[in-house]
Amino acid sequence: MNPEHIKTALNKFKTPSGRRWGFDVFDCPIDLFECIADITVLHKLYMSSRISFDVALKEAIVLGNAAMTWTGSDILSDQRGDMVEIWRPT
Each residue's pLDDT tens digit, 2-36: 778 877 887 777 776 666 666 665 667 777 778 88
Q: Of residues 56 and 67, which shows the higher confidence score?
A: 56
Phi, psi of 76 (to 5 degrees): -110, 145
Range of the domain at 48: 3-12+31-87
One-letter amino acid of 29: P
**How far is residue 34's CA from residue 27's CA, in Å, rounded to a whole number?**
13
Does residue 46 lie within any of the structural domains?
yes
Does residue 18 lie within any of the structural domains?
no
Average pLDDT, integer, range 58-70? 87
Does residue 58 lie within any of the structural domains?
yes
Number of domains in the chain: 1
**How far is residue 7's CA from residue 11's CA, in Å, rounded to a whole number?**
6
- Mean pLDDT lowest for which of 8-22, 36-50, 57-71? 8-22
Contact 34, 67 (CB under 8 A): no
Does residue 25 lie within any of the structural domains?
no
